[in-house]
Structure 1
Amino acid sequence: MQSRIKNDRCFLYKTLRVLASRLPLVSCNKKSEIPITNDATYSDYKELLKFLSTLPEDPTCNVVELGDEARLTAIAALSGSINGISEAMMIQTIPTFAATGYFPFQLTQQQQKALDAMWTFIQPTVVSALFLLVGYAGTGKSTIVFQLVKVLVATGKRVVLTAPTNKAVGVLQRMAAENGVTGVEFFTIHQLLGLGMVTRGKEKVLDQTGPSYINLFDVVFIDECSMIGKQLWHWIEDVANQSSIWTKIKIIFMGDPAQLNPVNEGKSPSFQVPDKAVLTQVVRQGTGSPLLEFVTACRYAVIKSKFPFEPYAKYLPDKSNGALMVKRQTLLRYACKKMSREFAQNPDCFRILSWTNTQVDFYNQQIRTHLYGENINRFIPGERLITRDPVMAPDGKTTILATSTEFTVLDVFEDRYNNYDTWRLKVETDEGIVRQIYVLHENEQKQFDQESKRLLTSAKRNPFLWKQYYKHSEQFANIRNCFALTVHNSQGSTFLEAGIDGQDLSKRLYPEPGDDRKAILSKIREFNRLYYVSSSRARQRILVIR
């Protein structure tokens, strides 16, 4: 190997110089004495690149001008062995090219280390299939990931971007477009793996209900991994364990450990992945943002404080960015004004976030009355709604609409379905998918509840009847307005502005009989997480009821 490398040192010299300075691609037969060894580290190459970029062009070389696309193609060729040059040595130069050529700002040391670690992990010589990128709000996690995706696509890798919810996938699509990323696919994790909820005795469990597409890709990015619970983790881990040298799939989790845990569970198992990089430093473009300072203060409360977070007012002189403390009526008036002017064109212009469903229903009812009047039908065309549970097909396996899917009502009919009066809705998702769903008519609620109670009692006596109970309870869509959301439902979403009902969040701190010190600390931690998640949903400012 050493003799082969020595024979091609000139080519390696020129290649490194091109990557360092982004000059035209060159070829040369002149040999050069560059001390290259198989145990050279990436740090060694960084120093070498810095030195080579200062050297003048060799006049004996033939210079070939290449456009950006052709240059990327040429660099992509370095991912294989070239004239015996070590693949591992050559491939390590590409992250520096990406970092110096495409980032709109100077990388922090943490970001550079994270990028290097991800690139090393992706190489075929690395056996592990799972990698974790931990990043708090404002640390530039998404920015470096999208630049890495660009290079992966340019080198011919098949890349898919995923998240646990449709809303989070929509955020990925928007951010990919903003970062100029093309040539990638987008799925929810459940869609990618072909998973759905099915009945197993008295429980609903995650199982294979459709085809898995994960083997079509080389690199899988999973965002919002803090939302991954034990059941979903089991399926992802199975894929990783089945990955072989012939069908090697690389999975990169991206998550924020300060966010809310999966419902009724502890911290997501995805945060136990040993191969990881951590971003804690807020990037430069975040400084000078009072809102980001507020979010960072929430983060420190989650990580270090044993006391409930105390919100405070801080904003720019023109109040365009930051945290404002307001009264409930002020928040409601502002929400009604924003919704009436902008919500139809931009649903993410503003949302109110609360902890309890009762408070969410209150805000939704108040805003809906303001927009449509007092005596209005249960549903009207043009109205935007959200699913509270999965909307299932009659087979009980196929999910028509996933939980927390937002959609617009196209048409409304009164109908009869499964011996109940219903509202039949024709709806369209943000992805343009049109569905027909049935919602139980409010006049039938009492009869429906009585039948549910009867079937539940029977199922407890006879386990074979659980399937019948679930089929009954899931036959109608559970939906509501989405002017206001629970903080849990908002996780994975991004809004221009947000209202936060801090008084409602404080209900999480209410003591219960038998609470010991551990239980109290657990409530404080979740309360602080509620503030962190809700405040980090906004891009510009938040209005907080303290």
Structure 2
Amino acid sequence: MSTEANPSFLLKQNFPFEPTSGQVSLFKKMDDFLLNKDDFGNLCFVIKGYAGTGKTTVISTIIKVLPKFGYKAVLLAPTGRAAKVMSVYSRKKAFTIHKKIYKQVANQYTGNLEFQRQNNYNTKTIFIIDEASMIADDAEYGTTGLLSDLLEYVFTNPEESHTGNKIIFVGDTAQLPPVGKLSSPALDVNYIKNQFHLGVAHQELTEVMRQDANSGILFNATELRNTLINNNINSSSQKPQIAFTCKGYHDFYKMTSEKIEDGINYVYKKYGREDSIILTRSNKTAVLYNQYIRQKILYYEDEINAGDLIMVVRNNYHWLEETSPAGFLANGDFAEIIKVRGIQEMYGFRFINLTIRLIDYEDHPEIEVKALMDTLYAHTPTLSREQNKMLYDAVCEDYAHITLKKDRMEAIRKDDYLNAIQIKFAYALTCHKSQGGQWKAVFVDQGYLQDDQINEDFVRWLYTAITRASKEVFLLNFHKDFFE
């Protein structure tokens, strides 16, 4: 085969910039990955890269050249917001992992809806998974974890013993790992090798691309990344040194609380509410900011208004047909309220009927839902286990007259109150809730911070927060010691 027919040649030829040394190395590794069809060691490729190292440009170029080697591409991401970002940069439709690999089926004994892995009939297909740092491998949707289910889906075809499929994981190891985890399993080469017995090619991109060199966001993100690396090398117990640089940059600012009203009005006018966000370290602080914005910026007087932006905070499978573009209302989905109709008090909780528009699914029809009011101002992420049980027990009492257990359970399962969506306002969020998303303007609130909390987790939190922004970052109420 001539050099001109190699993936590395075509990738470099189609790359819109002069590639960095890391990108050139990645392109060369693509020769083996795409051309060695039967080598079991060439089924998985992990691309790790920090902010500004050109991951999105690399992926867009890979997608462009795949057809020349007989491959199709399927683009997947962990959340609707991340899939939307992926669709924009790749100019190709991306899906959530859950929508693609699972279907909902009713348990024949309980009637409860459960996730079941779908069959995959794709062959000679490269599955490209963005924001892979968010993917956990705990048994949440079935008996195995999401990563296990995803790999099983990609490499199993009921009609073909050899699918010819491959998978590429793309992500940033400096970001926060899945909630409650120390690392991101989908970006851990050794975990994939040992757990799934797959050979894994990998490349880490570390060099910030030249065209991004004047970005204060990327300069400070890179400094935080270097802090993480140096802190790991020196001592995990050593307090990391954080020194933000704002001077000389027109996209990275520090701001005190006295300026917050002017700052929010500025970004809402410049970018709009959907493209602006405040990120906090606690649910309690997010609630306070949401109340402040609704009262002082938007002048909303009611508890909830048409025009309010909300986020779904718990997966819900009741209100959408499985065939809809979203499939179900997922934890982390953003919506705008179109209509508000009557608050009801039932079972010790407060409910409201809403018409909503899903922000990250632009062609999705409006949805009629019942929502729980109680989570809007709660300082917890969702209803507590005790509250969920209290609601369930109260709903069950209303169906006690149905004698046949199967019919009674079916009626309970379909109850609108039990299936009310749990929501929060979405003007301010915790950083974990923002992962996979991107906004033009991001305010990052330091919050109450003790000296012993300035650790590796805090640096990852900062890095994840400021890299949610594509245009401007505003550091709110940060101590002067954090600046040069």
- Identify the residue that residue 225 of structure 2 maps to in structure 1: 299
1:432-452 CA-partner distances (Å, limit 9, x unpaired): 312221113569999x97783
1:17-416 alignment to 2 at 5 Å? 19=4, 91=5, 93-99=6-12, 101-123=13-35, 124-127=37-40, 128-177=42-91, 184-194=92-102, 207-208=115-116, 211-213=118-120, 215=122, 218-230=125-137, 231-240=145-154, 242=156, 246-273=162-189, 274-305=200-231, 306-316=238-248, 319-322=249-252, 324-339=253-268, 342-343=271-272, 347-348=274-275, 350-373=276-299, 375-380=301-306, 382-393=307-318, 400-414=328-342
CA distance in 1, matches of 2:95, 2:463: 26
Structure 1 residue 425 displacement after superposition: 1.1
- Tell whether 2:372 aligns with 1:440: yes
CA gap 1:154/1:369 in 2 versus in 1, 3 angstroms: farther
- Identify the residue that residue 530 of structure 1 maps to in structure 2: 461
CA distance in 1, matches of 2:416, 2:452: 36
- Identify the residue that residue 493 of structure 1 maps to in structure 2: 437
The answer as to whether partners of 1:383 and 1:408 remain within 8 angstroms in 2 is yes
Instruction: Calculate the aligned-residue CA RMSD, in Å.
Output: 3.9
Which structure 2 segments of 5+ residues have no match? Answer: 138-144, 190-199, 232-237, 379-383, 397-405, 479-484
CA distance in 2, matches of 1:386, 1:445: 13
* Residue aligned with 2:149, SS: helix
The answer as to whether partners of 2:370 and 2:417 remain within 8 angstroms in 1 is no
Structure 1 residue 428 displacement after superposition: 1.6
Percent identity of paired positions between Structure 1 and Structure 2: 23
Structure 1 residue 313 displacement after superposition: 3.4
CA distance in 2, matches of 1:397, 1:473: 20
1:344-385 CA-partner distances (Å, limit 9, x unpaired): 5xx22x2111110111111111111134425224232x3322
CA gap 1:214/1:160 in 2 versus in 1, 3 angstroms: farther
CA distance in 2, matches of 1:269, 1:167: 21
CA distance in 2, matches of 1:394, 1:326: 41
- Identify the residue that residue 354 of structure 2 maps to in structure 1: 425
CA distance in 2, matches of 1:343, 1:474: 34
- Identify the residue that residue 452 of structure 1 maps to in structure 2: 389
CA distance in 2, matches of 1:139, 1:126: 29
Structure 1 residue 229 displacement after superposition: 0.4
CA distance in 2, matches of 1:302, 1:397: 42
* Residue aligned with 2:218, SS: helix
* Residue aligned with 1:392, SS: coil
1:326 alignment partner AA:
M
1:495-534 alignment to 2 at 5 Å? 495-504=439-448, 506=449, 509-510=452-453, 524-534=455-465
CA distance in 2, matches of 1:395, 1:96: 46
- 1:480 pairs with one of 419, 424, 428: 424
Which structure has the larger Rg over C-alpha atoms? Answer: 1
1:20-74 CA-partner distances (Å, limit 9, x unpaired): xxxxxxxxxxxxxxxxxxxxxxxxxxxxxxxxxxxxxxxxxxxxxxxxxxxxxxx
Structure 1 residue 240 displacement after superposition: 5.0
CA gap 1:417/1:126 in 2 versus in 1, 3 angstroms: farther
- Identify the residue that residue 48 of structure 1 maps to in structure 2: none
CA gap 1:304/1:370 in 2 versus in 1, 3 angstroms: same
The answer as to whether partners of 1:129 and 1:240 remain within 8 angstroms in 2 is no
Higher helix share: 1
CA distance in 1, matches of 2:125, 2:444: 40
CA distance in 2, matches of 1:358, 1:113: 46
* Residue aligned with 1:492, SS: coil
CA distance in 1, matches of 2:27, 2:106: 39
Paired residue total: 424
CA distance in 2, matches of 1:472, 1:426: 15
The answer as to whether partners of 1:336 and 1:367 remain within 8 angstroms in 2 is no
CA gap 1:288/1:374 in 2 versus in 1, 3 angstroms: closer
Greater Cα shift, 333-342 or 222-231:
333-342
- TM norm structure 1: 0.68
2:166 alignment partner AA:
K
The answer as to whether partners of 2:319 and 2:367 remain within 8 angstroms in 1 is no
The answer as to whether partners of 1:452 and 1:473 remain within 8 angstroms in 2 is no
1:311-367 CA-partner distances (Å, limit 9, x unpaired): 423243xx5223x222123234311332256425xx22x211111011111111111
- TM norm structure 2: 0.76
The answer as to whether partners of 1:313 and 1:325 remain within 8 angstroms in 2 is no
CA distance in 2, matches of 1:262, 1:206: 22
RCO greater where, 1 or 2, for CA within 8 Å and sep 6 or more?
2
The answer as to whether partners of 2:23 and 2:58 remain within 8 angstroms in 1 is yes
